[in-house]
Amino acid sequence: MTPTELAARIEHTILAPEAPWPAVERIAAEASANGFAAVCIAPVWVSRVARLVRSGVATCTVVGFPHGANKPTLKAIEATSVIKDGADQIDVVAHLPNLICADVDAARAELMEIVRAARATRRDVVVKVIVESALLLSSGAERGEELIAAACRAVRESGCDYIKTSTGFHPAGGASVDAVRLMKKYGEGLMIKAAGGIRDLATAAAMLEAGADRLGMSASLRIMDELRLSETGT
């Protein structure tokens, strides 16, 4: 994998609630300079970042972040608002109790309300759904697989584009190779975004090998440097 190929899979991320504008501005500039697929930032910064990043770098933000406990109507309103501000992509935190209970009908209904509002605002907006896969897998191997399969079904049947492993803020943990493999197994056409705890090249490569299409990372520059050094053998 070349640096250019890796860059095209990275969503350069800053979601710390205390991050000030200069830090967000730097992340946006780094995404543009390195040709990353997207920059992922908090909703409050969307309008400023959308005007800043160069063509080809998507502006991504989060909805219902980080707990997913807002009412679907409020998530739909938030989605509409950030899309009007210039978001090309939204990462929606699903209501976790629906996923823990494998309640596909309830999960699908929530996501459909959000998707309808989002696509009515902008037809081509990309919708990703965060399912906190580490929490689902903490139920044990067999039950965890069932929960990932149910989550994939709800995300797919609601018309979303991606399933995403994690917010990176849940105490259960972030992305894992096992979660990505299960999402690949049950996704049936869904794209996969691995995020949460990807801090070195080996982990990033393992996620891609397992089937991830995108990597949400704050350690993007360090990992890119690691890849360049590995290519030169230094």
Q: Which of 91, 128, 161, 213 is catalytic?
A: 91
Cis ω before 66 (30° cut-off from 0): yes
> Tokens 């709800």 — which residue?
154
200 is catalytic: no
Cα(92)–Cα(106) distance, rounded to whole angstroms? 15
> Tokens 């920059």 — which residue?
39
Check if the beta carbon of residue 167 is closer than 8 Å to that of residue 190: no
CA-nearest of 1, 23, 3 to 224 is: 3
Token pair of 199 as six digits:
């801090």
128 is catalytic: no
CA-nearest of 161, 204, 167, 183 to 36 is: 204
Residues 196, 11, 131, CA angle at the centre, nearest 5°?
A: 45
Beta strands in 53-132 (DSSP E): 58-63, 89-93, 126-130
103 is catalytic: no
Q: Which of 75, 88, 128, 193 is catalytic?
A: 193
Q: Which of 75, 88, 161, 164 is catalytic?
A: 164
Cα(4)–Cα(234) distance, rounded to whole angstroms? 19
Q: Which residues are catalytic?
A: 91, 164, 193
